[in-house]
């Protein structure tokens, strides 16, 4: 099975990491719209337009499924992508909500949703959780985490101060949805700042979702990887080598 993975930039590699870890696909075609990232500060129409343009790229490949790794695109453009491309299109929000539901049974638990400004403004996670009767939901747009990860500042005081800035008024958080591709890279820092709150990781959630709903199962062969980007694909490939811990890229 061949999957397309779409992200606004490099962050979706965190989802690829989970897909590789579980060996769900024979081949993955990754596309990062690095020329136009970030999507998280754009408006709805722009996010939809960019997403539809990217779907044209994927039509050049014979993919069986399109995985939208980007939370921002998952919040705004899933329906449009489904209308545009004639294969299953899965997003990370539905998967994340189901994963949370599997792990957090008490509907009075304190749930924290983190994401880009666009994802938080869409209220997609919040409404889906309310529909499942969760009562104590807090949402925060934590966009500063994105450049902190991209600049490799995870181990600096800049991250510590930013965590303090965003989270200083929070108490007793039970679970936190890492509603942005970059946040799994600072998962431990976020969780320990919040007294070891449980974390919901888009990559692991989508694996669970694919296994359950799309009959995807662990393969015995390595996944062939292809990386494309709208700008500077070599830089994306370098990040892929680093984040995914892979030695050779089949390009
Ligand atoms: N990939 C985006 C997301 O998961 C984060 C980066 C951006 O703003 O484009 O929402």
Query: How many angstroms is it from 72 CA to the middle of ligand 1?
Result: 6
pLDDT for the residue 215: 82
Task: Kindly report the pTM of this predicted structure.
Answer: 0.96
pLDDT for the residue 218: 81
Closest-lying ligand 1 atom to the alpha carbon of residue 73: 10
Residues with CB under 6 A from ligand 1: 7-9, 11, 37-40, 70-72, 116, 119, 146, 180-182
Which residues have a catalytic role annotated? 70, 180
Classify residue 222 as exposed, middle or buried by CB count within 10 Å of its CB (0-12, 13-18, 19+): exposed
Model confidence over 235-247: pLDDT tens digits? Answer: 999 999 999 988 7
pLDDT for the residue 221: 82
Mean pLDDT of 199-224: 91
Q: How confident is the model at residue 249 (pLDDT cuts 50, 70, 90)?
A: low
Closest-lying ligand 1 atom to the alpha carbon of residue 12: 1
Q: How confident is the model at residue 222 (pLDDT cuts 50, 70, 90)?
A: confident
Give helix 124-131 / helix 92-103 axis angle, nearest 10°.
40
Is 118 within 8 Å of 47 (Cβ atoms)? yes
Handedness of CA 238, 235, 251, 26 (dihedral sign): positive
Mean pLDDT of 104-133: 98
Query: How many angstroms is it from 58 CA to the middle of ligand 1?
Result: 19
Q: Secondary structure of 196-250 in the HEC alphabet?
A: CCEEEEHHHHHHHHHHHHCCCCCCCCCCEEEEEECCCHHHHHHHHHHHHCCCCCC
Closest-lying ligand 1 atom to the alpha carbon of residue 181: 4
Question: Percentage of the chain with pLDDT > 90?
Answer: 93
To test ligand 1's pocket by mutation, which of 179, 182, 236, 243 has the most ligand atoms within 8 angstroms of CB?
Answer: 182
Query: Is 251's pLDDT higher than 60?
Result: no
217 token code pair: 């199962």
Q: Whose CA is nearest to atom 6 of ligand 1?
A: 38
pLDDT for the residue 162: 98
Model confidence over 12-50: pLDDT tens digits? Answer: 999 999 999 999 999 999 999 999 999 999 999 999 999
Q: Whose CA is nearest to atom 7 of ligand 1?
A: 38
Q: How confident is the model at residue 248 (pLDDT cuts 50, 70, 90)?
A: low
């Amino acid at each position: 099975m061949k999957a397309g993975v779409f992200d606004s930039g490099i962050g979706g590699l965190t989802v690829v990491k989970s897909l590789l870890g579980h060996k769900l696909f024979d081949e993955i075609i990754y596309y990062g719209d690095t020329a136009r990232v970030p999507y998280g500060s754009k408006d709805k129409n722009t996010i939809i337009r960019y997403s539809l343009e990217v779907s044209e790229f994927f039509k050049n490949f014979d993919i069986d499924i399109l995985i939208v790794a980007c939370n921002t695109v998952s919040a705004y453009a899933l329906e449009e992508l489904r209308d545009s491309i004639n294969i299953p299109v899965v997003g990370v929000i539905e998967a994340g909500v189901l994963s949370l539901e599997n792990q957090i049974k008490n509907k009075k638990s304190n749930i924290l949703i983190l994401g880009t400004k666009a994802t938080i403004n869409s209220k997609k996670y919040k409404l889906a959780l309310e529909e499942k009767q969760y009562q104590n939901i807090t949402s925060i747009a934590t966009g500063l985490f994105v450049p902190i990860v991209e600049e490799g500042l995870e181990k600096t005081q800049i991250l510590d101060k930013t965590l303090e800035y965003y989270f200083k008024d929070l108490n007793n958080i039970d679970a936190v949805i890492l509603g942005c591709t970059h946040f799994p890279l600072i998962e431990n820092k976020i969780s320990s700042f919040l007294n070891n709150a449980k974390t919901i990781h888009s990559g692991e959630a989508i694996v669970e979702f694919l296994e359950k709903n799309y009959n995807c199962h662990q393969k015995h062969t390595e996944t062939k990887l292809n990386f494309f980007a709208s700008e500077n694909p070599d830089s994306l490939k370098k990040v892929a080598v680093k984040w995914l811990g892979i030695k050779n890229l089949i390009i």
